[in-house]
Amino acid sequence: MRIETSVTRLLGIDLPILQAGMSWASSNAALPLAVSRAGGLGAIAAGPMYLAALEEAIDTVRAGTDRPFAVNMPLYRKGADEMLDLLEAKRIPVIVASQGGPGKYLDRFKAIGTVCLHVVASETHALKAAGQGVDGLVVVGGEAGGHPPADLVSTLVLVRAIARATEGRTPLVASGGFADGQGLAAALALGAGAANFGTRFIATPEAGVADAYKQRVLQAGTADTRTVGRGFGMIRTLSNDFADQMVALERDGASEATRRAHFSAATLKMAALDGDVTRGKVEAGQSAGLVDRIMPAADIVAEIARDYINCLRAMPQQQPVDLSAQARQR
Ligand SMILES: Cc1cc2nc3c(=O)[nH]c(=O)nc-3n(C[C@H](O)[C@H](O)[C@H](O)COP(=O)(O)O)c2cc1C
């Protein structure tokens, strides 16, 4: 099946379904490989990886498919320069850069034909990155797991605002809150050329997180996430001892030092790798409330595409209507 959009043309993929870069969950070859093979775009999350592991994951994905894949690269991380050197040497097909300006990587990656997508969470940053010449923007709205925008503007509003501001000149990927084919239809209706799916792909055998983490995602309802850590890298995470204590500290006006200490004592790694879903950061989006099954990533891609088509068929069909003539008759 093919669904052609501005983003599928840009990336050379069959379906406008992107697997979001997720530290640990997609810091491996298995998940990105499965998604890219199925016709979407898989993304290796380089954030927590050592150089050698990243190189091995890139080589494994390449050996498994000749379809495009991405590396998600947080530009702030320690050792980012060495990592960018590796990605350039590997001539990766797509880079999805987050947290930092495009100036750090754009020219050198465009020069080797890498498609450069930049993650943004406001109109100002979108216009700035588009002006610098990125090939496309990943627009992250307030529903998103991981790091949503500080002002929590919803994906519904932010994607529309950025689509209007960029006037269709820059392909957009909508990110945050998408879990199924209906979500994909909504993303395309808003003016994006694809949707990014994060939390949905945690519920796969391929995701590199502990089973307890996956189970928490399955159990979560739409209202079970919390946004905590305002001021020092706010995250959206599932409610647990860590998150609830953080909410209480913020509500009760605890000192910055106390809040920071509590926030830094818990990590995503504790939940993702050690399976400590009580005291670790179980980062996930509101879309966790729409995820109720663990399925192979390729089946998820196929299901999203199929449900998208069914969703379009179920839309009310409009006959062309002359509204001004109707108004005159009234
Ligand atoms: C567990 C988890 C880890 C994430 N890690 C990263 C990351 O390393 N880099 C990044 O740019 N975004 C990261 N994100 C954000 C995702 O790329 C994406 O924007 C988000 O998952 C979209 O919302 P959704 O979960 O509702 O689909 C992460 C999200 C989650 C849930």
CB 115 within 8 A of CB 71: no
pLDDT at 128: 97
Residue with tokens 């790798």: 273
| Beta bridge mates, 197 | 19
197 CA closest ligand 1 atom index: 27
Judge whether residue 322 has pLDDT over 80: no
From residue 105, give the alpha-carbon distance in Å to each of 28, 89, 97, 117.
Answer: 23, 13, 9, 11
- Give distance in angstroms: CA of 240 to centre of ligand 1: 19
Q: How far apart are CA 306 and CA 324, in angstroms?
A: 37
Query: Which token pair is 127?
Result: 């216009």
Q: Read off the pLDDT band of 308 (50, 70, 90).
A: very high
What region does 155 belong to: left with phi over 0, alpha with psi -120 to 50, or beta? alpha
Query: For position 14, what pLDDT does the model report?
Result: 98
Q: Does the pLDDT value for residue 316 go beyond 70? A: yes
In this predicted structure, the answer to whether residue 326 has a pLDDT above a threshold of 70 is: no
- Contact between 15 and 3 (Cβ < 8 Å): yes
Give which of 145, 138, 88, 82 is closest to 113, Cα–Cα.
88
Residue 265, CA distances (Å) to 78, 191, 228, 237, 292 in order: 19, 40, 13, 15, 30
Residue nearest to atom 15 of ligand 1 (CA): 146
Position 109 pLDDT exceeds 90: yes
Ligand 1 centroid to residue 198 C-alpha, Å = 5
pLDDT value at position 330? Answer: 66
Which domains are delineated in the chain? 6-209+291-312 (3.20.20.70), 211-272 (no CATH)
Atom of ligand 1 nearest to the CA of 25: 1
Q: How far is the CA of 64 from the centre of ligand 1 (A)?
A: 24
Ligand 1: centre distance to CA 25 (Å): 9
Average pLDDT over residues 266-286: 98
State the closest ligand 1 atom to the C-alpha of 43, by its place in the atom list counted from 1: 17
State the virtual CA torsion across 80, 83, 89, 94 in degrees, nearest 10. -80
* CA of 30 relative to ligand 1 center, distance in Å: 17
Pocket around ligand 1: residues whose beta carbon is below 6 Å from it?
A: 20-23, 25, 45, 47, 72, 74, 98, 119, 140, 143-146, 175-178, 196-199, 283-285, 287
Q: How far is CA 60 from the centre of its chain?
A: 22
Residue 29 DSSP class:
S
Using CA atoms, how far residue 307 sits from 74, 201, 224, 302, 317, in Å, is 32, 16, 26, 9, 18
Q: Which two tokens stand for residue 24?
A: 């640990």
User: Residue 34's CB: how many other CB atoms inside 10 A?
Assistant: 26
Strand order in the sheet with 17-19: 17-19, 194-197, 172-175, 136-140, 115-120, 94-98, 70-74, 43-45
User: Measured between alpha carbons, how far apart are the two ends of the chain, in Å?
Assistant: 46
- The residue type found at 232 is F
The pLDDT-based confidence of 319 (bands split at 50, 70, 90) is confident
Give the pTM: 0.96
Inter-axis angle of helices 181-190 and 155-166, nearest 10: 40
**Mean local confidence (pLDDT), 80-98:** 98
Across the range 204-225, mean pLDDT stands at 98
- Tell me the C-alpha distance between 57 and 280, whole Å: 26
DSSP code per residue over 148-178: --TT---HHHHHHHHHHHHTTSS-EEEESS-
- Ligand 1: distance of its center to the CA of 208 in Å? 14
Residue 195 has pLDDT above 80, yes or no: yes
**Mean pLDDT, the chain, as a whole number?**
96
